[in-house]
Structure 1
Amino acid sequence: MNKGIGSSPGMDSLASISPRNMNDTSAWTTQTSPNMSMESTPAYENFRPHQYIQQQQVKPSPHPKSVLVSYEDFENADVFDAQLLLEERHREEEERLLRFLMEEREKELKRLDDAIELEKEKAADDLLSSIENLSITSSIPRSLVDEKERIEDHFLQLKEERLKVVTEKIATEEKTRNGKMIDRHCHEMMTLIGEKDRQMDRLCLFDHSMKPPPEPPEGKKSSLYKSPAVFEALDLRALDLANKDYNTMTDLVRDLTRTCKTELEKARVLFRWVIAKDVNKHSVNEIVRPHATDRLLKGVKSGKETYHQLYKKLCSYAGLHCEIVLGYSKGAGYKPGMRMDGQTFRNSWTVVNINGSWRLVNCTWAARHVTGHKDNLPQMYHKYDEFYFLTDPEDHIYQHYPDDPQWQLMEIPLPFSEFLNLPVVKSPFFNYGLRFYSNYGATLNTDTGMVEVRLLIPKILGFGSMLEPVHRQPSEPKQIEGRTLLRLVNNEAIFTIALPATGLYYFSIYVGDYWKSECLESACTFLIQCTNMKGRPSPPYPPVPFFGPTPVMENLGISAESNIDPLVVCNNDFIEINFVLSKDIRLTHTFQYFDVSDGSITDIDRYVFLRSRNDTGANYLIRCHKAGFYIFSLFAADITGEAQSLDCAFRYLVICQEPSPTVAMFPKTYQKWHRCTLHEPLTGDLRVDKKVIFRLDVPQAIEVFVVINEIWHHLKHKIGCAWEGQVSTGPIPGVAKVYARFQGATKDQSIFSQMLDYQIVDDAETEI
């Protein structure tokens, strides 16, 4: 790539701190050795893969298998019946805890009221003493009346403040007690299933009551399933059952897992059910039928229980180990460069064990809803984010950092300082298959005012970006326009940012599935720091969404033979751009000049010329008459299509820094120039009293003439479709026109078609 004024910064602008090699898609596929140490889990201590598995003549596995996996396994082992009895005992304990917490809340609030009343009485006594010290005959000063009102207001405000503190304290204690109870209940449920395991097979080495240690998963998410389409039936079942009320968790899990054969399917159907409940927590059904609220969601709706805890409970009923992980998250409101300490940006998520491997799940972040209208009636459509189901650890670490480094589930845990120095990356970044070309840090430093961010892309996507100053005045615009250049080169999206001045800036990238998408999602954000700028700032870029190919190129079989990078530097007489065509299509083009002084865009079609065009290619010549930015756009359409308009196929940004002092325009072309080739003259301005050689290829032409001042000059037919001749321009300025008569073009073959126009000018007019 020719750097020009759009050159990228040096490597000093890119931070080298990143979790291992996050762009290596194979580096994170871990294989656990069968002889790995598991001292902390007694159930695994004496396990040897060959003891049980060789009898089954299956491939050895580093993890023991449960004999209770599918719905049929649970039904045959009478697991559901035993769970109903245990769940009833758990419910009684929940009700006892609820009564206890309500009593404790009332006691705490009464203590608060008593303390406030005591302080209020003391203040009233002090005020009364002040009144008694006054003479009996004197009237009560107005100031004492005001003081009484002030005391009332003071204690009212004091009660509100203390009530807020006490309420938060009570809520925290209630959540803690409830969380411990849920953990105990889940463990008891897993223990029950473990007992059923041993009843079914005394040689079973798997113990549901023993939690496997946190380790990196064996294989990536893609090794478990290629597309969410494989879960279509399960997802539909979960969504359907989300609208049904249940009195017991056992019956709910029994119905949800009725068609499940594997642990993966169980984890999926429970995940989708929880998401549907999260999305529908403010649905119309709850307004119309307020008494039909699920008893199972009572803890969630009261705030004592989270959706993560709900998912954990469901998993325990399904025989899946699930843990809640606490830590920090780069969620809403977080921007690169911010600190994380205390309770700011605290969060939680879950991990679920599937086939012996821990997988990351976030039901809350996965749930999204879109409100729309159908048949003029309000309708809520639920949508979910696939990224948060079994997220790969190397992707998850961009957003979440656990308090316990083991729950990063990475071979080499990332230090907290390096987590903070990662770019802020959102789920659409991964959902659309994006990757960083380099290991960028959260802060990009530059001393030139130029920064480059390169993304690897799986296909042509829709992109947008926003550059905004960190510190701005209220009167200043939120974002800075014209400072970002986007180029699509092969499988890369290259963003070049030209800062207008020194300072701190946030740079955000947005992405959509379609290249013309107007609805884009946040992908990633950086902090750009420029403390000192060498030289003057670069001028703003043209207001063009991106430069490079569009899907039209592939759809119509067009490829760029040269200049694959859409950024082209022109410091010569002209540049040449070639396209290879696989079939006959309709083509047209535009050529524009962008004036950086006033932001205007001017059409300058006489400085671009379709030199040749046939079924296999098109050759364009471009001239730049002054310094600045030029936009060359190629438009195309299928010749057999019904569409009247042509779609953009490719855009070039041509940068001219040193224009040639003798740049002239090209000749003007007409519709019949299609499939012809001009060899000379390539200059559109011809001087008077000169002999000019015309040489061009005109397929299927019977005759070719150059007409000057109504004098027709016949060109000679050479080999093939070549026509050539020497013509005198004459002493008078005017127009030289090239005509041709074609064989079989019309019924009247005497009609001549205009091909080209040249301007005949005085010598003085050609001087630049």
Structure 2
Amino acid sequence: MHTTIFSNGKTVQSTQEQRSTVTSVASRSPGVLSWKNVFQFWGAVEQQEKSSNNGRPSTKRQLSSESTQTIRVVKKEESGSVVQKEVYSEVHGLKTQEGEKGTVFTRTSPVKRKLRRDLFSEPKIFGRVDSHVLSISKQLKAEGVYLSRIVHCVTQGAQSELERVRAIWIWLCHNIQYDVSGYLGLSEKMCSPDQVIQAGKGMCCGYSRICLEMCREVGIKCMEVSGYGKGIGYRLGQSYQNKKSNHMWNAVQLGGHWYLLDSCWGAGTVDIESMTFIQRPEDFIDSHCPDDPQWQLMNSTVSLAQFQQRVFKTSAFYRLGLSIISPKEFHMQTVNGEAMVSMRSANAAEFTYQISQLSGGAAKDLSSSFGLLTVSRQGMTLKLVECSEPKSLEKLPENPFLSWGLHQTAKELGLRECSQGAETIVVDTGSFELILWTTRPLTVLCELVHKELDPTLSKRCVVSQIEQNKLTCRVLCPFRGYYRLSVFVRDFEGESSLQNSGNFLLKCTGPTINLNELFPPALSTSCGPGIKAQKLGISNPSHAAPIITTQQGKCNITFHNSQDLEFTAVLEKEHNKITKHPLDRHVLFTYMDSKVMVSVCLPEAGIYKLGLREDSFQQRLHPCL
């Protein structure tokens, strides 16, 4: 999908791409051009368009001429005579209304139609039909037979009109290659069914004519529809005004309802889920705009001007079950330098994006920090921020993981809920606390990134606490501006590698923390009472948090000890200059049955690290004055 953003006279193009494997329909034999040749050709032809009398390349004019044929359906009677039967009356009933973006047609009565999902649940149900067609096609190709025998062979065993249409479509997609050289005007274009079948290649008029003739042979009403298609050579935003149409496709009637399909765009497709077979009219109009608006098969039609502005979508967009929430057009006007792109996903999917700035016809890739991507099981939201040149203070940190907020796989990793969403978190006090509730014991590692923070200083800005059903990350912000806080987790008892479970964007706007008041260096990965303490029988701590603020440098820390353990203390302070004696002498233990009290009397103001140890157990608390 391509979305172009306008901001302060500059254009920024955001691209979200879904990868898919598509088998080329161009012949690999000598003398036939490949798709790569097509794009190389258009690069040269594009330069000639400006000097052309009508602004269009000759190959496009040739394409248009094939679309100017009379549209009708022909049905053969038992006697062999041919009867022309007009079918327009079945889709008539439109009234016109002039608007800012051209003429819009609205139906006086609803169009008679069924949804694609009502016709068939999923393309996999055609497995038997598809297999038969692919199998018989090899035999037919060797025999060199003609249209009538082909259609009766491929539809043999089809149990409904729908299966017969499917068989015809599959045969066309797999046995007729697209005539690239004919499209470029380098050879004679072929539209006659006999010519196309014999050559094994054709253009859109050839596909649509064969589909029409084959449907006629098996008694199915079919129409050729001419119009505009966003296919090869399409450029985002190009105008179709005052130009002849360039494409042809078909409409078929099944069970009294009309449906749209394009075998030309399905050519070479090995994926049976291709959406060019009986696509929803609301999706088909994104890439196909008929000359006659009645063949949009929608109650409220789309004008040609509106068609030009619609978001461009690839076939992978539909295969992945995606739908656009906003925007509906590829041009968006930013508000205060921001814009939003939202999509819904039927299934869990991975998303990425690329932002480019257009200048003088050339695209310049921009940093991913201009976008805030949020991904969930329901879809994605991409917020484009500061499309114009941002102030250095407001430049966003790079996010190698792209999406913000909890990752869509967070539940599988053991995370149940988070205290923060995907929106930017404003920190106005210099400190921030993130809480993650878990479904099982986890280990956590937090990474804090800011343009002024080096890795050593960054570690002194974060303290993590690991509890049975909760992970807590406390952050100090020594500078103003944006921070990226990334969270990595794994099972507490496991040895697997840490996995990214979420990324959060922090914006410090208020007072900052003095660099001399950051957390002590070399802290444990988990501070404060946690899972290790519970396993040793330690409970009911007087201070549940890992950070303690003392009054007059004194505090008492108590907890219950069910296993009658003996403890030692390690008290440390960075740059301690008052005494040469160990600071441990400022800590006193008092044992009262199962209760333990740790009394601390600090010699001077500052940040201390207190470690309580018993064998392999180490618990660290941080009194802060």
TM-score calculated relative to the size of structure 2? 0.69
Aligned partner of 1:522 in structure 2 is none
Q: 1:733 to 1:567 in 2, by over 3 A?
A: closer
Aligned partner of 1:553 in structure 2 is 410
Find the aligned partners of 2:207 and 2:155 in 1 and give their Cα distance.
19
Aligned partner of 1:100 in structure 2 is none
Which of 229, 232, 235 lines up with 2:124 in the alignment? Answer: 229
* 1:24-103 mapped onto 2 (5 Å cutoff): none
1:456·1:491 contact (CA, 8 Å) conserved in 2?
yes
* Cα shift readout 1:437-473 (whole Å, capped 9, x = no counterpart): 3453332112522222222233442222222233248
1:234·1:269 contact (CA, 8 Å) conserved in 2?
yes
* 1:730-741 mapped onto 2 (5 Å cutoff): 730=603, 736-741=609-614
Q: 1:355 to 1:718 in 2, by over 3 A?
A: farther
Find the aligned partners of 1:217 and 1:705 in 2 and give their Cα distance.
83
* 1:306-705 mapped onto 2 (5 Å cutoff): 306-343=206-243, 346-368=246-268, 382-383=270-271, 386-438=274-326, 440-446=328-334, 448-472=336-360, 477-479=364-366, 481-488=368-375, 491-501=378-388, 538-544=394-400, 545-565=402-422, 567-584=424-441, 586-595=442-451, 604-614=458-468, 616-638=469-491, 644-661=496-513, 664-666=517-519, 668-670=523-525, 674-675=530-531, 680=543, 690-694=553-557, 702-705=565-568
2:250·2:261 contact (CA, 8 Å) conserved in 1?
yes
Find the aligned partners of 2:61 and 2:338 in 1 and give their Cα distance.
53
- Residue 393 of structure 1, CA deviation: 0.9
Q: 1:680 to 1:223 in 2, by over 3 A?
A: same
- Residue 706 of structure 1, CA deviation: 3.0
5+ residue gaps, structure 1, are: 1-7, 11-166, 197-206, 283-293, 370-381, 503-532, 742-750, 761-765
2:557·2:597 contact (CA, 8 Å) conserved in 1?
yes
TM-score calculated relative to the size of structure 1? 0.58
* Cα shift readout 1:643-702 (whole Å, capped 9, x = no counterpart): 631222222222222244558434622469751688759687989982244467899783
- Residue 268 of structure 1, CA deviation: 1.4
Name the SS for the 1:387 alignment partner. coil
Aligned partner of 1:725 in structure 2 is 598
Q: 1:730 to 1:443 in 2, by over 3 A?
A: same
2:341·2:382 contact (CA, 8 Å) conserved in 1?
yes
Q: 1:489 to 1:575 in 2, by over 3 A?
A: farther
Name the SS for the 1:323 alignment partner. strand
2:113·2:257 contact (CA, 8 Å) conserved in 1?
yes
Q: 1:697 to 1:319 in 2, by over 3 A?
A: farther
- Residue 592 of structure 1, CA deviation: 1.9
- Residue 240 of structure 1, CA deviation: 2.1
Find the aligned partners of 2:155 and 2:562 in 1 and give their Cα distance.
71
* Cα shift readout 1:255-293 (whole Å, capped 9, x = no counterpart): 2222211111111122112111245989xxxxxxxxxxx
1:706·1:738 contact (CA, 8 Å) conserved in 2?
yes
Query: How many residues are paired up?
Result: 516
Amino acid of the residue matched to residue 313 of structure 1?
A: E
2:443·2:492 contact (CA, 8 Å) conserved in 1?
no
- Residue 403 of structure 1, CA deviation: 0.8
Name the SS for the 1:218 alignment partner. coil
Find the aligned partners of 1:699 and 1:273 in 2 and give their Cα distance.
77
2:446·2:485 contact (CA, 8 Å) conserved in 1?
yes
1:680·1:693 contact (CA, 8 Å) conserved in 2?
no
1:367·1:383 contact (CA, 8 Å) conserved in 2?
no
- Residue 297 of structure 1, CA deviation: 0.8
1:489·1:566 contact (CA, 8 Å) conserved in 2?
no
Name the SS for the 1:583 alignment partner. coil
More helix by proportion, 1 or 2? 1
2:177·2:202 contact (CA, 8 Å) conserved in 1?
no
The alignment-based identity, stated in percent, is 18
* Cα shift readout 1:560-607 (whole Å, capped 9, x = no counterpart): 2421335322222432222222223x4222222231x8x988872332
Which of 122, 133, 136 lines up with 1:241 in the alignment? Answer: 136
Which of 170, 180, 199 lines up with 1:272 in the alignment? Answer: 170
2:75·2:84 contact (CA, 8 Å) conserved in 1?
no
1:485·1:541 contact (CA, 8 Å) conserved in 2?
no
Amino acid of the residue matched to residue 395 of structure 1?
A: D
Whichever of the two has the greater Rg, that structure is: 1
Aligned partner of 1:755 in structure 2 is 619
* Cα shift readout 1:591-644 (whole Å, capped 9, x = no counterpart): 22231x8x9888723322223410x22222222221122222222335676x63
- Residue 343 of structure 1, CA deviation: 4.2
Find the aligned partners of 1:354 and 1:719 in 2 and give their Cα distance.
85
Q: 1:326 to 1:611 in 2, by over 3 A?
A: same
Q: 1:278 to 1:662 in 2, by over 3 A?
A: same
Find the aligned partners of 2:164 and 2:570 in 1 and give their Cα distance.
82
- Residue 411 of structure 1, CA deviation: 0.8
* Cα shift readout 1:369-418 (whole Å, capped 9, x = no counterpart): 6xxxxxxxxxxxx4466211111111112222111010010012222222
Find the aligned partners of 1:718 and 1:279 in 2 and give their Cα distance.
88
Find the aligned partners of 1:737 and 1:256 in 2 and give their Cα distance.
80
Aligned partner of 1:201 in structure 2 is none
1:690·1:728 contact (CA, 8 Å) conserved in 2?
yes
Find the aligned partners of 1:611 and 1:308 in 2 and give their Cα distance.
66
Q: 1:240 to 1:461 in 2, by over 3 A?
A: same
Name the SS for the 1:237 alignment partner. helix
Find the aligned partners of 2:346 and 2:319 in 1 and give their Cα distance.
11
1:366·1:385 contact (CA, 8 Å) conserved in 2?
no
Name the SS for the 2:488 alignment partner. strand
Name the SS for the 1:653 alignment partner. strand
5+ residue gaps, structure 2, are: 8-57, 93-110, 181-193, 534-540, 572-581
Name the SS for the 1:390 alignment partner. coil
1:689·1:731 contact (CA, 8 Å) conserved in 2?
no
Matched, 1:214 2:214: no
What is the Cα-based RMSD across aligned positions, in Å? 4.6
2:444·2:488 contact (CA, 8 Å) conserved in 1?
yes
2:432·2:475 contact (CA, 8 Å) conserved in 1?
yes
Find the aligned partners of 2:478 and 2:169 in 1 and give their Cα distance.
62
Find the aligned partners of 2:466 and 2:256 in 1 and give their Cα distance.
64
